[in-house]
């Protein structure tokens, strides 16, 4: 009980504790935690489920109860994913395509957003509009034209076609998210910097970029997840096995007539580990960045 | 200030690389899509120019309008669910214990690829062995809903995983925005005796309104061109009951080899997105906002 | 000041650009065309794309891999370069490649409706010369013709699939059911199973084609073995009373609860689960499922022992009076690209693959090949031997309606079958809409 009181004491902006330890507020806090807990369960259960799924046979996957534990855990699914799914081969490709595209997207998007929101020029709204339109084209409309474009510039079966596509297609989204944040940045800091004789580039790299670390971490997470799970571009533009990515490994278990669901589950579990770690690391940057920013501000 | 911040060289340097990239990889395909939309083309036989015939057909294609309607419904639901995401984010961004853990957990579904999500939700929705229906049957419900087979409810069934999947996406954006709100402002309000709810609604919310407006556009445009889960889970069926614009386009272009017509649908989708974005901007822009 | 600072950045940007461009040019030799250029050492490179990844189709993958190795050792000057994709990815990619005229030298195609647009687009090359030279009389009669357009053959078939009703013998015995010979007997069995709380038959209609098996067999039994082919050829209309009758019988079965609930939202794999877990007694599917009931190491032997099969029952008063008339169709076959620069080598390799595939596919992968196989003296599972013998005694094999039809009509057919099973349309609308689509293409 005292433990609960302590928890409540530090809860809810501290204001709750000041406004009295009424039963109502205590109930409210408890209820809030129940709701948050239920939501958390709904969001985390899939990961657990996927893990069970990865240990099942095809027969069990379509068996009576999706809640059931695997009768005889099929660790062999992992071996299969590793050897027949060629995960070892695809893994590094996934990592470096994702990393390169995320880096490129964020730096280019930051450039553009900075130029559009902080600098003075006539066509900024038009240029912004051009990027926004990029958000609206359905992916499958672009496949055939993109293929012939890459063919003409000799980029078929070249990792660059993947990295550049990821970057181009994530730029509009990234710019839009950045935009909302740049608009909340106070201009006073830049004005002071200009007074001190800073150049544009110095302002961008030394002031604006560090100030926007939280949103950069946010967009990095979003970009990373999108690129990591993408397969339409890889499937279309890459021919050589040695250049393909993990998602291709997943799809190689979908057969003409038979699909090996257990192995798919195992591949998915293996492929989710690195991104989960990267997410947890980046996720902390959202808060840290804020702290660092407020020191400067 | 103005002279430094209107350096033409710097602007060009910052904008051109990105512009060049989307020029090649988005605008070239976009123009090509518009061009293919004027053709009778199956994807590889010689093209035949037919002018606006595809668009004429589009206007009278009841299936297209049905799928457009479905896409708009998804757009409305997605936009409404933003409020839910925002509420959760506001709670998490207040100094509640364990917020950090909750925030991380909430993003997990986003990490899963569509293949995994589709599998999970097929297991949830399965008509007799599924998680929901086996529960309902054990509770004595004789004819539980056929979530993905009943044409009257399939569309709403399929919205649930989509909204669930995107929770993390918006929560993380809102969370970062809320964390960006200067601590001094919140502190000042607290000293004035504002309750946490008041701080959330009166202080924080207005400060992140620009982010919120952006997410409205993202949710709407994202929904209008949404494809993944619908394609994997229902394929737009049964009998087109869950068809959306992007899945209809894919079916025409890739399954039925009507690439010309598929391109016209893709182009129409783009136009519809443009109009919607313009309307949203009209409705939400205040004078200091930038155009998007 | 700022201009001076801009210079290094400009330079580095230029450097990146140069890097990118050099990346392009260095990739040029490998990325060129469909790999049709001769590689170093005077070797001919033949690009081959197939859809049997090691993960999902291990047996098929190994057979193809071994055949390639043998071919390469027999032809040291030829190198076979493979690209392997999953089924759906293969279907998508082949279209994109075709649109840029970048097809691999040898690849896989489906018959009839799938192949037609590629032939019309002049993308596949006729293979009659190489078939006559290497594979004369090798194919099961009628299969090769599914890959022919205007008298020329554009594909060499590999697989042949025949649809049967597979059933759980244990469940049948438990309720004293005999294998139904007529549709009336079948209905009685359905009723008995239903009364005992067993799902009589499972079907997944999300994609439509599994339900179409039921419709096609009923059309065959009611309207005679040629009726659906006649529709495609324009000799009969789809709104023929026999076809309406077949569609009505489908809905009668639905009304009797012959199928699991909500089947129009289930994929074939999900529906199959009901049969594999013995919740459903019957499953009308094709011979590609055979390994699951015979040789597959992933399935319980106890389950495999319970599974038998029977031919689709006859319909009282129907025109199709021969139970040895089947619904089936060739699966994938091989094409050679018209613009291949190594056409002769590609043709030779394709013929070699088809020839070698036949016997090995039965013994090693447990599938039915499109080429004739002598079962004498081979240690085969009895179910295979029986089915291969059935095939020899087949009076007719009607190619799947969706395979015969154009992609447009096939898609519509899938949608309509799904709606028919879901009772969202009447049999009359079902035939009317299909006929309209067929008329639109004439």
Q: What pLDDT tens digit does each residue of chain C (442 aa) get?
A: 344 444 445 545 554 554 454 444 444 334 333 344 444 557 899 999 999 988 788 888 999 999 999 999 999 999 999 999 888 889 889 999 998 889 999 999 999 889 988 998 899 999 999 999 988 888 888 888 899 999 999 999 999 999 999 999 999 999 999 999 999 999 999 999 999 999 999 999 988 999 999 999 999 999 999 999 999 999 999 999 999 999 999 999 999 999 998 898 888 988 998 898 899 999 999 998 988 898 888 788 999 999 999 999 999 999 998 999 999 988 899 999 999 999 999 999 999 999 999 888 888 888 888 888 877 777 788 888 888 888 888 888 899 999 999 988 999 999 999 999 999 999 999 999 999 999 988 7
Residue of A46, A247, A251 lying closest to B112 (CB–CB): A46
Is the residue at B12 inside a domain? no
- Tell me what pLDDT residue A292 has: 45
Cα–Cα distances (Å) from A279 to A272, B103, B196, in that order, read 10, 11, 29
Residue B128 touches chain A, beta carbons under 8 Å = no
Instruction: State mean pLDDT over B104-122.
Output: 85
| Angle (nearest 5°) at CA B225 between B223 and B226 | 60
Q: Which residue of A has its CA nearest to C26?
A: A154
Q: Residue C270, Cα to own-chain centre: how many angstroms?
A: 18
CA dist B226 and B236 (Å) reads: 12
Give the pLDDT band (50/70/90) at residue B246: very high
pLDDT in tens, A250-267: 878 877 777 788 888 888
DSSP class of residue A206 equals I
Question: CA of A243: which chain C residue's CA is closest?
Answer: C83
Residue C17 has what pLDDT?
Answer: 53
Kindly state whether residues A48 and A145 are assigned to the same domain. no
CATH of domain C161-328+397-441: 3.40.190.10
Return the top range by mean pLDDT from B120-124, B173-177, C198-202, C359-363. Answer: C198-202
Give the residue carrying structure tokens 């017509």: B261
Architecture of the structural domain at C40-159+331-373: 3-Layer(aba) Sandwich (3.40)
pLDDT at B287: 52
Which residue of C lies nearest to B123 if distances are taken between CA atoms?
Answer: C270
- Cβ-defined contact of B218 to A173 (cutoff 8 Å): yes
Domain containing residue B79: CATH number: 1.10.3720.10
Of A36, A38, A47, A39, which is closest to residue A276 (Cα–Cα)?
A: A47
Residues 34-63 of B with CB under 8 A from C: 42-46
CA neighbours closer than 13 Å in the CB half-sphere of residue C51: 24
Residue B243 near residue B70 (C-beta atoms within 8 A): yes
Q: Is C86 on the interface with A (CB under 8 A)?
A: yes
Q: Does C31 touch chain A (CB under 8 A)?
A: yes
Name every chain C residue with its beta carbon within 8 A of the beta carbon of A193. Answer: none
For residue B135, name the pLDDT band (cuts at 50, 70, 90). Answer: confident
Residues A35 and A92 in one domain: no
Neighbours of chain A (3+ CB pairs under 8 A): B, C
- Cβ–Cβ of B44/C408 closer than 8 Å? no
Host domain of residue B257: 64-284
- Say yes or no: A34 and A65 in one domain: yes
Q: How far apart are CA A236 and CA A139, in angstroms?
A: 12
pLDDT band, very low/low/confident/very high, at A39 (cuts 50, 70, 90)? confident
- Whether residue C31 and residue A155 make contact (CB cut-off 8 A), yes or no, is yes
Residue B68 lies in a domain: yes
Nearest to C51 by CA among A258, A92, A93, A237: A258
Domain count, chain A: 2
Long-range CB pairs of A102-107, under 8 A, 24+ apart, other chains included: A102/A220, A102/A223, A102/A224, A102/A227, A104/A163, A104/A167, A105/A166, A105/A167, A105/A170, A105/A171, A105/A174, A105/A219, A105/A223, A106/A174, A106/A216, A106/A219, A106/A220, A106/A223
**pLDDT value at position C2?**
43
Strand C148-149 and strand C106-110: the pairing is: unpaired
The answer to whether the Cβ–Cβ distance between B13 and C9 falls below 8 Å is yes
Beta strands in C315-355 (DSSP E): 325-330, 332-336
When pLDDT is averaged across residues B180-206 and rounded to a whole number, the result is: 84
More confident: A85 or A134:
A134
Residue the block writes with tokens 């009166």: B202
Dist. CA B161–CA B159, nearest whole Å = 6
Q: How many CB atoms lie within 10 A of CB C33?
A: 14
Q: Å from B227 to nearest chain C CA?
A: 15
Task: Return the pLDDT at A289.
Answer: 52
What share of chain B in percent tops pLDDT 70?
97
Contact C265 B238 (CB under 8 A): yes
A8 pLDDT tier (thresholds 50, 70, 90): very low
CA A76 to chain centre: 30
Provide the domain limits for residue A19.
2-76
Instruction: Using CB atoms, pick whichever of A114, A119, A290 lies closest to residue B6.
Output: A119
Q: Which strand (E) or helix (H) includes residue A80?
A: helix A76-83
Q: How far is C2 from chain B (nearest CA, A)?
A: 8
How confident is the model over A141-153, as pLDDT tens digits?
899 999 989 999 9
Q: Classify residue B245: in a domain, yes or no.
A: yes
Structural domain ending residue among the three candidates A31, A60, A76: A76
How many domains would you assign to chain B?
Answer: 1
Does B40 reside within a domain? no
* Mean pLDDT within B235-260: 90
Separation of alpha carbons C143 and C160, rounded Å: 8
For A222-250, the pLDDT digits (tens) are 999 999 989 889 989 998 888 989 888 88
Q: Give all chains having 3 or more CB-to-CB distances under 8 Å with chain B.
A: A, C
Distance CA B246, CA B54 (A): 17
Q: Which of A42, A76, A110 is the C-terminal boundary of a domain?
A: A76
For the cut 90, the answer to whether the pLDDT of residue B3 exceeds it is: no
Q: How confident is the model at residue A131 (pLDDT cuts 50, 70, 90)?
A: very high
Q: Are B155 and B73 in contact (CB under 8 A)?
A: yes
Using 50, 70 and 90 to split pLDDT, how confident is the model at B203? confident
CA distance readout (Å), C88 to B137, C64, C91, C92, C291: 35, 20, 5, 6, 22
Whole-angstrom distance, CA of residue C265 vs CA of residue C204: 7
Separation CA C384–CA C387 (nearest Å) = 5
CATH code of the domain containing A184: 1.10.3720.10
**Is residue B15 situated within a structural domain?**
no
Q: Find tokens 């553009």 and name the residue.
A: A112
Q: Which two structure tokens, joined as six digits, stand for B115? A: 């293949």
Residues of chain A in contact with residue B274, where contact means CB-CB under 8 angstroms, are 133, 136
Q: Is the dihedral of CA C23, C24, C26, C27 positive or negative?
A: positive
Same domain, A55 and A182: no
Query: Nearest residue on chain B to A145, judged by CA atoms?
Result: B29
CB contact under 8 A, C264 and B13: no
Cβ contact, residue pair B227, A138, below 8 Å: yes
* Nearest in space to C82 (alpha carbons), one of C93, C68, C62: C68
The answer to whether position B220 is within a domain reads: yes
Global confidence as pTM: 0.87
Across the interface, which of B4, B172, B292 has its CB nearest the CB of A132?
B292
Share of chain A above pLDDT 70, in %: 87
| Chain-chain contact of A251 with C9 (C-beta, under 8 angstroms) | no
Report the residue of chain A nearest C367, measured CA to CA: A257
Q: Cα–Cα distance between A49 and B121 in angstroms, integer? A: 11
Q: What is the pLDDT of residue C215?
A: 96
Where does CATH 3.40.190.10 sit in chain C? Answer: 40-159+331-373, 161-328+397-441
Cβ contacts (< 8 Å) between C56 and chain B: which residues?
none
Cα–Cα distance measured from residue A121 to residue B15, given in angstroms and rounded to the nearest whole number:
12
DSSP H/E element including C163 = strand C160-168
């Amino acid at each position: 009980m005292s433990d609960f009181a302590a928890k409540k004491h530090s809860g809810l902006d501290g204001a709750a504790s000041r406004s009295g330890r009424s039963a109502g507020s205590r109930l409210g806090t408890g209820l809030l935690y129940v709701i948050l807990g239920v939501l958390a369960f709904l969001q985390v259960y899939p990961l657990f489920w996927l893990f069970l799924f990865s240990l099942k046979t095809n027969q069990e996957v379509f068996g009576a109860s999706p809640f059931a534990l695997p009768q005889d855990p099929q660790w062999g699914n992992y071996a299969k994913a590793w050897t027949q799914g060629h995960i070892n081969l695809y893994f590094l490709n996934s990592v470096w395509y994702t990393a390169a595209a995320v880096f490129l997207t964020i730096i280019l998007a930051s450039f553009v957003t900075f130029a559009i929101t902080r600098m003075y020029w006539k066509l900024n709204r038009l240029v912004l509009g051009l990027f926004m339109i990029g958000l609206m084209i359905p992916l499958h409309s672009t496949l055939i034209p993109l293929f012939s474009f890459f063919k003409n510039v000799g980029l078929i079966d070249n990792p660059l076609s993947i990295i550049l596509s990821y970057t181009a297609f994530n730029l509009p989204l990234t710019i839009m998210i950045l935009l909302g944040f740049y608009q909340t940045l106070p201009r006073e800091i830049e004005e002071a910097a200009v007074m001190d004789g800073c150049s544009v580039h110095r302002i961008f790299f030394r002031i604006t970029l560090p100030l926007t670390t939280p949103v950069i971490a946010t967009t990095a997470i979003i970009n990373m997840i999108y690129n990591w799970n993408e397969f339409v571009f890889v499937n279309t533009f890459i021919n050589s096995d040695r250049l393909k990515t993990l998602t291709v490994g997943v799809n190689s278990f979908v057969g003409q007539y038979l699909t090996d669901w257990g192995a798919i589950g195992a591949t998915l579990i293996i492929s989710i580990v690195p991104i989960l770690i990267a997410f947890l690391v980046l996720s902390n940057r959202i808060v840290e960045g804020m702290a660092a920013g407020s020191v400067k501000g | 200030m103005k002279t430094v911040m209107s350096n033409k060289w710097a602007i060009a340097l910052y904008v051109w690389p990105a512009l060049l990239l989307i020029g090649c990889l988005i605008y070239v395909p976009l123009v090509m899509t518009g061009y293919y939309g004027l053709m009778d083309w199956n994807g590889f036989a010689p093209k035949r120019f037919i002018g606006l015939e595809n668009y004429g057909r589009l206007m009278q294609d009841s299936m297209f309008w049905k799928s457009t309607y479905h896409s708009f419904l998804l757009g409305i639901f997605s936009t409404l669910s933003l409020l839910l995401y925002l509420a959760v984010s506001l709670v998490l961004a207040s100094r509640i214990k364990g917020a950090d853990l909750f925030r991380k957990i909430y993003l997990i579904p986003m990490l899963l690829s569509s293949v995994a999500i589709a599998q999970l939700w097929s297991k949830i929705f399965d008509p007799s062995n599924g998680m929901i229906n086996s529960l309902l049957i054990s509770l004595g419900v004789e004819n539980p809903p056929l979530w993905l087979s009943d044409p009257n409810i399939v569309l709403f069934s399929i919205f649930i995983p989509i909204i669930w999947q995107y929770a993390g996406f918006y929560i993380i954006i809102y969370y970062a925005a809320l964390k960006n709100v200067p601590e001094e402002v919140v502190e000042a309000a607290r000293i004035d005796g504002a309750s946490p709810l008041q701080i959330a609604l009166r202080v924080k919310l207005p400060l992140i309104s620009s982010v919120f407006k952006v997410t409205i556009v993202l949710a709407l445009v994202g929904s209008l061109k949404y494809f993944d889960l619908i394609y994997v889970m229902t394929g737009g069926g049964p009998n087109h009951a869950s068809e959306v614009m992007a899945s209809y386009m894919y079916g025409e272009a890739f399954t039925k080899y009507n690439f010309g017509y598929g391109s016209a649908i893709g182009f129409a989708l783009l136009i519809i997105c443009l109009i919607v974005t313009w309307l949203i901007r009209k409705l939400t822009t205040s004078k200091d906002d930038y155009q998007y | 000041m700022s201009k001076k600072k801009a210079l290094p950045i400009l330079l580095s940007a230029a450097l990146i650009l140069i890097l990118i461009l050099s990346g392009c040019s260095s990739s040029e030799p490998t990325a060129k065309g469909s790999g049709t250029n001769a590689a170093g050492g005077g070797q001919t490179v033949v690009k081959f794309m197939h859809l049997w990844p090691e993960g999902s189709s291990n047996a098929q993958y190994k057979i193809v891999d071994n055949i390639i190795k043998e071919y390469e050792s027999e032809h040291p000057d030829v190198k076979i370069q493979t690209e392997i994709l999953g089924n759906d990815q293969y279907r998508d990619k082949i279209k994109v490649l075709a649109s840029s005229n970048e097809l691999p030298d040898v690849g896989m195609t489906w018959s009839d409706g799938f192949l037609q647009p590629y032939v019309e687009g002049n993308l596949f090359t006729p293979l009659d010369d190489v078939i006559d030279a290497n594979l004369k009389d090798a194919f099961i009669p009628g299969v090769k013709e599914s890959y022919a357009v205007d008298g020329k053959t554009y594909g060499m078939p590999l697989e042949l699939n025949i649809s049967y009703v597979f059933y759980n013998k244990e469940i049948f015995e438990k309720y004293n059911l005999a294998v139904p010979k007529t549709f009336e007997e079948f209905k009685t069995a359905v009723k008995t199973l239903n009364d005992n709380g067993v799902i009589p038959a499972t079907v997944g209609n999300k994609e439509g084609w599994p339900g179409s098996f039921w419709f096609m067999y009923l059309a065959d039994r009611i309207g005679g073995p040629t009726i659906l082919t006649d529709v495609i050829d324009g000799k009969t209309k789809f709104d023929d009373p026999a076809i309406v009758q077949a569609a009505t019988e489908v809905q009668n079965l639905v009304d009797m609860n012959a199928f699991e609930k909500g089947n129009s939202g289930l994929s074939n794999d999900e529906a199959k689960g009901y049969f594999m877990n013995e919740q459903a007694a019957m499953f009308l599917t094709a011979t590609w499922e055979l390994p699951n009931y015979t040789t597959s190491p992933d399935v319980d032997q106890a389950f495999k022992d319970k599974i038998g099969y029977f031919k689709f029952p006859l319909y009282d008063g129907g025109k199709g009076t021969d139970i040895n008339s089947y619904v089936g169709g060739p699966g994938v076959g091989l094409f050679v690209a018209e613009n291949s620069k190594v056409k002769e080598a590609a043709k030779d390799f394709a013929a070699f693959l088809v020839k070698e595939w036949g016997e090995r596919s039965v013994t090693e992968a447990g599938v039915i090949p499109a080429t004739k196989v002598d079962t004498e003296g081979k240690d085969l599972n009895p179910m295979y031997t029986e089915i291969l013998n059935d095939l020899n005694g087949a009076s007719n094999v009607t190619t799947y309606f969706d395979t015969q039809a154009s992609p447009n009509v096939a898609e519509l057919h899938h949608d309509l079958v799904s709606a028919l099973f879901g009772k969202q349309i009447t049999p009359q609308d079902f035939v009317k809409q299909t006929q309209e689509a067929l008329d639109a293409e004439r």
